[in-house]
Amino acid sequence: LVSVDYEVHGKVQGVFFRKYTQGEAKKLGLVGWVQNTSHGTVQGQIQGPTARVRELQEWLRKIGSPQSRISRAEFSNEKKIEALDHKEFQIVK
């Protein structure tokens, strides 16, 4: 299992980015969270099996929600974990 933090830049607010991210994470069986930031980005944390986390990272980097325009996605604080810190993938207000 791995845990990784992310921040996505571009046109990612007001385009259902969080809702789509949550849907994609649930489809992949991942847990974590996503929220808007005050400076126009979307950030959060992903946890789960490495291969699945990589799939969501790729999705965050290249796909996103239909109306979004991603300029870049940054990933940080990646670490191996023994257990998941979250029960599900939540949208944080």
Looking at the annotation, which residues are catalytic? 18, 36
Q: Give the closest residue to 40 by CA, choosing from 68, 5, 3.
A: 68
Which tokens in the block code for residue 1? 């299992």
Residues 6+ apart with CB under 8 A from 40: 9, 12, 13
Residues 6+ apart with CB under 8 A from 23: none
Q: Residue 87, class by beta-carbon neighbours within 10 Å (0-12 exposed, 13-18 middle, 19+ buried)?
A: exposed
